[in-house]
Amino acid sequence: MNKYHTSVLLQEVLTFLAVKYAGLYIDCTLGGGGHTFEIISLGARVLGFDVDEDAVGFVKEKLREKDLKEGKELTIVQANFSQLATIAPALGFEKVDGILLDLGVSSHQFDRAERGFSFKDGPLDMRMGKELGVKAADLVNGLTEKELRELFERFGEEPNAIKIAKKIVEVRKTRQITKTEELAELIRSTVYGQQGIHPATRVFQALRIAVNDELNVLQEVLPQAIELLKPQGRLVVISFHSLEDRIVKQTFEKFKKEGIVNVLTDKPVMASDEEVLQNKRARSAKLRAIEKI
């Protein structure tokens, strides 16, 4: 099969998880299974979550290719990891040795235009799981100018939020905005001349976070993960933007003050220059880890 997704900070994840032979681990974001299969190769069992049916299908096929048994080395659940506390114990993962959260969008999701995460010509969708009702197009075409501005500022930290929101509402008077390329070009023409990243990056991030309720889900799962860990069990989180990293950092500091964890990373661990050269999406990855006392 073709490669689904290149796992970031792979060796760093294995180091901070300190994978034990016959240990129990949870990968809350399976993706292409890169982290999971490395954990399994060290003799552990894994419970893997993913809301994306494409990811679940890919990993099941990869299991067959590797001659591994679903339900033995790897148990797969197509569900949001916000349900971690109820699903994991029901499947025999009451207390575990380690939990991984690799947040953000997989390479596969970015590369498929029909998923609507990239600037390629595709529908303004951005749903991680197809069971979600609201698409990015619903927000772009339904929110007021004030609501759009607040969304772009809050979830995208977009400095040109006022100009972009105004332009979207102006264009909506004559037509609906339904394509990713159309929205990206509208933003580019509105803030033309911006240096560095594509000028639509922050707006697309804001829409994706809102569609998938990503920040609330992250805040919900962290306490659940701590409850499931055994003493000396470890939680490793990889985030890809400042909003996520801030939540992880502040929550870990709160757990430390409560005396329930030791923080293993004073500063976030970043990808090496070599890894970034091989996988440019690793450049924004930040890893933080804690160990339950």
Using alpha carbons, list the distances in angstroms from residue 80 to 25, 54, 220: 17, 14, 11
Per-residue pLDDT of 94-121, as tens digits, reads 999 999 999 977 555 555 555 555 787 7
Count other Cβ atoms within 10 Å, centred on residue 127: 20
CB-based contacts of 61-67 (< 8 A; 24+ apart in sequence): 61/1, 62/1, 62/32, 62/33, 62/37, 65/1, 66/37
Per-residue pLDDT of 15-70, as tens digits, reads 999 999 999 999 999 988 999 999 999 999 999 999 988 889 999 999 999 988 88
Would you list the DSSP string of 240-268?
-SHHHHHHHHHHHHHHHHTTSEEES-SS-
- Predicted TM-score (pTM) of this structure: 0.92
246 token code pair: 């801030």
Q: Which residues contact 258 (CB under 8 A, 6 or more apart)?
A: none
Count other Cβ atoms within 10 Å, centred on residue 90: 9
Q: Right CATH number for 10-108+214-292 from 3.40.50.150, 3.50.50.60, 3.40.50.300, 3.40.50.12160?
A: 3.40.50.150
**C-alpha 271: how far from chain center:** 17
CATH superfamily of 118-212: Putative methyltransferase TM0872, insert domain (1.10.150.170)
Q: Is pLDDT of 2 > 50? A: no
Q: Is pLDDT of 172 > 50? A: yes
Which pLDDT value is given to residue 131? 76
Helix orientation angle between 34-41 and 10-17, rounded to the nearest 10 degrees: 50
Domain boundaries defined on the chain: 10-108+214-292, 118-212
